[in-house]
Structure 1
Amino acid sequence: MEDLNPFNDDRDESNGDEDRTSNKFSAPFTPEQLGPKSTTHDSVNIEIVDAVRTNEGAKSSYITYIIQSDSQQVARRYSEFESLRQILGRLYPTLIVPPIPSKHTFGEYANKSKEETKIVAQRKRTLQDFLSRVARHPVLGREHFFHKFLSAEISWKHVLNSPPISTLPRNPLHVSSNDPTNDKNVAAYASLPTPSPSQPLRRPDQRFLDSELFTAKFAQHFESSLERVDRRTAKRWSGIANDYAELGAVFNGFSLTETNTLAAALEKIGQAVDSTYISTNAMLNSWEKDFSEPIHIYSQFAGIIKKLLDYRHQKHAQYEMLIDALSAKRDSLTDLERSEQEAQRLDEALSRGLSSTKMLDEPHQEDANNDTNNEDSNNHEDTAPPQSIITDAPSREIKRHKSHLSFLGAISHTLQGIMDTDPEATRRNSIGKTRESIQGLESALEASTYDLSYTSQTIQADLDRFQRQKVADIREMCVSYAQFHSDWAKANVEVWEEAKKEIDLIDTNLNDDEIEEYSHQFDDI
Structure 2
Amino acid sequence: MSDYVAAPTRAKEDQGIIEHRRRMLGVFLNRCARMKQIRKDSVFLRFLDPNASWSEVLHSAPISGLPKHPLRAPPIDPARPSPAHQYLPIPPANAKLKHIPSPPTSPQDSRPSGFTHVRSLPSPSANLSEAELDPYFITYEGNTRAYETLLTSGVEKVNRRMLNRLSNLSTDLAELGARYNAFSLSEPAPTLGPAIEKVGQAVDSTYLATEELAAGLASGFTEPIRESAQFAGVVRNVLKYRMMKRVQEEITRDELAKAKMKLEQLEKSELEARRIEHYLAGSGVAAPPSVEAQRRNSESSLNQQQQGGGGGGGSRSSGDSDAGSVDSDFPPTHSSPMPPPISTTPVPYPQGPQQGGAGGVSPQHRKASSFSNPLSYPVSKIFGKLTHAVSGIVDADPETTRRNNIGKTRETLVQLEAALQVSGRDVEEAGKSVLADLHRFQAEKEEDMKKLMVNFAKCQIEWAKKNLDSWEEAKAEVDKITVR
Using the size of structure 2 for normalisation, the TM-score is 0.68
- State the alpha-carbon separation in 2 of the partners of residues 268 and 333 from structure 1: 95
Q: How does 1:284-323 map to 2 (within 5 A)?
A: 284-323=214-253
| Mapped pair 1:242 → 2:217 | no
Contact 2:4 2:11 in 1 (8 A): no
| Mapped pair 1:268 → 2:198 | yes
CA shift for structure 1 position 444:
0.5
Q: How does 1:7-18 map to 2 (within 5 A)?
A: none
Contact 2:12 2:18 in 1 (8 A): no
Q: Deviations over 1:253-285 (max 9, x none)?
A: 111121211111100000000011111111222
Q: Which of 8, 26, 30 is residue 108 of structure 1 equivalent to?
A: 8
Q: Which of 490, 493, 497 is residue 468 of structure 2 equivalent to?
A: 493
Contact 1:197 1:313 in 2 (8 A): no
Contact 2:209 2:467 in 1 (8 A): yes
CA shift for structure 1 position 158:
2.3
Q: Match of 1:175?
A: 73
Q: Which of 60, 79, 98 is residue 202 of structure 1 equivalent to?
A: 98
Q: Match of 1:480?
A: 455
Q: Match of 1:326?
A: 256
Q: Which of 36, 54, 57 is residue 156 of structure 1 equivalent to?
A: 54
Letter in 1 for 2:138: L
Distance 1:507-1:316 versus aligned 2 partners, 3 A rule: same
Contact 1:197 1:311 in 2 (8 A): no
Distance 1:144-1:222 versus aligned 2 partners, 3 A rule: same
Q: Deviations over 1:52-104 (max 9, x none)?
A: xxxxxxxxxxxxxxxxxxxxxxxxxxxxxxxxxxxxxxxxxxxxxxxxx9995
Letter in 2 for 1:143: D
Distance 1:199-1:355 versus aligned 2 partners, 3 A rule: closer
Q: Which of 504, 507, 511 is residue 479 of structure 2 equivalent to?
A: 504
Q: Secondary structure at the match of 1:197?
A: coil
Q: Secondary structure at the match of 1:162?
A: coil
Letter in 2 for 1:499: A
Q: Match of 1:90?
A: none
CA shift for structure 1 position 161:
2.0
| Mapped pair 1:427 → 2:402 | yes
Q: How does 1:12-161 map to 2 (within 5 A)?
A: 104-110=4-10, 116-161=14-59
Q: How does 1:319-468 map to 2 (within 5 A)?
A: 319-355=249-285, 420-468=395-443
Q: Secondary structure at the match of 1:109?
A: helix
- Number of paired residues? 347
Using the size of structure 1 for normalisation, the TM-score is 0.63
- State the alpha-carbon separation in 2 of the partners of residues 155 and 504 from structure 1: 68
Contact 1:245 1:274 in 2 (8 A): yes
Q: Match of 2:157?
A: 228
Larger displacement relative to structure 2 (202-211 or 219-228): 202-211
- State the alpha-carbon separation in 2 of the partners of residues 313 and 112 from structure 1: 41
- Large movers: runs of 4+ above 6 Å: none
Q: Which of 84, 88, 104 is residue 192 of structure 1 equivalent to?
A: 88
CA shift for structure 1 position 298:
1.0
Distance 1:126-1:341 versus aligned 2 partners, 3 A rule: same
CA shift for structure 1 position 342:
1.4
Contact 2:90 2:248 in 1 (8 A): yes
Q: Match of 1:166?
A: 64
- State the alpha-carbon separation in 2 of the partners of residues 236 and 468 from structure 1: 34
Q: Deviations over 1:312-360 (max 9, x none)?
A: 1111110011011111111111111111111112222222333599xxx
Distance 1:232-1:342 versus aligned 2 partners, 3 A rule: same
- State the alpha-carbon separation in 2 of the partners of residues 292 and 356 from structure 1: 88
Contact 2:205 2:467 in 1 (8 A): yes
Distance 1:280-1:356 versus aligned 2 partners, 3 A rule: closer
Contact 2:67 2:79 in 1 (8 A): no
- State the alpha-carbon separation in 2 of the partners of residues 232 and 417 from structure 1: 72
Distance 1:102-1:277 versus aligned 2 partners, 3 A rule: closer
CA shift for structure 1 position 469:
0.8
Distance 1:503-1:455 versus aligned 2 partners, 3 A rule: same
Letter in 1 for 2:251: M
Q: Match of 1:77?
A: none
Letter in 2 for 1:219: E
Letter in 1 for 2:437: D
Letter in 2 for 1:498: E
Q: Match of 1:83?
A: none
Q: Secondary structure at the match of 1:169?
A: coil
CA shift for structure 1 position 507:
1.3
- State the alpha-carbon separation in 2 of the partners of residues 161 and 121 from structure 1: 31
- State the alpha-carbon separation in 1 of the partners of residues 459 and 424 from structure 2: 52
CA shift for structure 1 position 197:
3.4
Q: Secondary structure at the match of 2:67?
A: coil
Q: Which of 250, 255, 265 is residue 184 of structure 2 equivalent to?
A: 255
CA shift for structure 1 position 144:
2.2
Q: Match of 1:360?
A: none
Contact 2:152 2:229 in 1 (8 A): yes
Letter in 1 for 2:456: Y
Q: Secondary structure at the match of 1:260?
A: coil
Unaligned runs of 5+ in 2: 101-133, 288-390
CA shift for structure 1 position 421:
4.4
CA shift for structure 1 position 218:
1.0
Unaligned runs of 5+ in 1: 1-100, 358-415, 511-525
| Mapped pair 1:211 → 2:140 | yes
CA shift for structure 1 position 153:
4.0
Q: Deviations over 1:276-306 (max 9, x none)?
A: 1111111222111111111111111122112
Distance 1:310-1:418 versus aligned 2 partners, 3 A rule: closer
Q: Secondary structure at the match of 1:110?
A: helix
Distance 1:103-1:338 versus aligned 2 partners, 3 A rule: farther
Identity over aligned residues, as a percent?
A: 40
Q: Secondary structure at the match of 1:105?
A: helix
- State the alpha-carbon separation in 2 of the partners of residues 352 and 223 from structure 1: 82
